[in-house]
Amino acid sequence: MTSVKVAVRVRPFNGREKNMSSRCIIEMQDNMTKITDPDSGKEKKFYFDYSYWSHDGYTEDSEGILSPNGPGSNYADQDKVFNDLGIGVLDNAWKGYHTCLFAYGQTGSGKSYSIVGYGKNEGIIPKACREIFERISDARAKPSNITEFQVTISMIEIYNEKVHDLFQPPNKREKAGLKVRENKGEVFVDGLKKVPVESYEEIEKQISIGTSNRTIASTNMNSTSSRAHTVTTITFKQTVMENGKPTNQKRSDINLVDLAGSERQSGTGATGERLKEGSNINKSLSFLGKCITVLAEKSTGKSKGKVVVPYRESQLTRILQNALGGNSKTSMIAALSPASVNYDETLSTLRYANQVKAIKNVAKINESAHD
Ligand code: ADP
Ligand code: MG
Could you give the domains of the chain? 2-369 (3.40.850.10)
Atom of ligand 1 nearest to the CA of 118: 16
- Tell me which of 113, 159, 311, 352 is the catalytic residue: 113
User: C-alpha angle with apex 35: 34 to 40, nearest 5 degrees?
Assistant: 130
Cα of first residue to Cα of last residue in the chain, in angstroms, is 31
Q: Is 193 tagged catalytic? A: no
CA–CA separation, 51 and 45 (whole Å): 12
Of the residues 8, 9, 10, 11, which should be mutated to test ligand 1's pocket, given the most ligand atoms within 8 Å of the CB? 11
Return the pLDDT at 3.
85
State how far the Cα of 7 lies from the Cα of 53, in Å rounded to an integer.
11
Q: Are 290 and 310 in contact (CB under 8 A)?
A: yes
Q: Give the span between the Cα atoms of 46 and 348, in whole angstroms.
A: 12
- Catalytic annotation on 360? no
Q: Quick one: 259 exposed, middle or buried, by C-beta within 10 A (0-12, 13-18, 19+)? A: buried
Query: Whose CA is closest to atom 19 on ligand 1?
Result: 110
At CB < 8 A and 24+ separation, what contacts does 217-225 make? 217/274, 217/277, 219/107, 219/268, 219/269, 219/270, 219/274, 220/268, 220/269, 220/270, 221/107, 221/108, 221/261, 221/263, 221/268, 222/107, 222/108, 222/261, 225/107, 225/108, 225/261
Check if 110 is active-site.
Answer: yes
Q: What DSSP character marks residue 210?
A: H
- pLDDT for 5 equals 94
Residues with CB under 5 A from ligand 2 (ion): 111-112
Q: Which of 102, 4, 46 is nearest to 351 (CA)?
A: 46
Q: In a mutational test of the pocket of ligand 1, which residue from 113, 120, 332 has the highest number of ligand atoms less than 8 Å from its CB? A: 113
- Whole-number Å distance, alpha carbon 301 to ligand 1 midpoint, is 37
Q: 187 near 322, Cβ under 8 Å?
A: yes
- The yes-or-no answer on residue 112 being catalytic is yes
Q: Residue 19 and residue 24: Cα distance in Å, rounded?
A: 13
Q: Mean pLDDT in each 10-residue stretch from start to end of the chain (371 residues)? A: 92 92 94 96 97 97 96 96 96 93 94 96 97 97 96 94 91 88 90 97 96 66 62 96 93 94 64 56 81 85 81 93 85 96 96 90 83 57
Residue 227 confidence (pLDDT)? 75
Residue 259 C-beta-side C-alpha neighbours within 13 Å = 30
CA distance 76 to 73: 9
Angle, in degrees to the nearest 10, between helices 200-212 and 124-141: 160
219, 103, 236, 83: CA torsion to nearest 10: 130
Cα angle 108, 109, 115 (rounded to 5 degrees) comes to: 100
Among the listed residues 156, 93, 167, the one whose alpha carbon sits nearest the alpha carbon of residue 128: 93
Query: How far apart (Å, rounded) are the C-alpha atoms in residues 90 and 35?
Result: 32
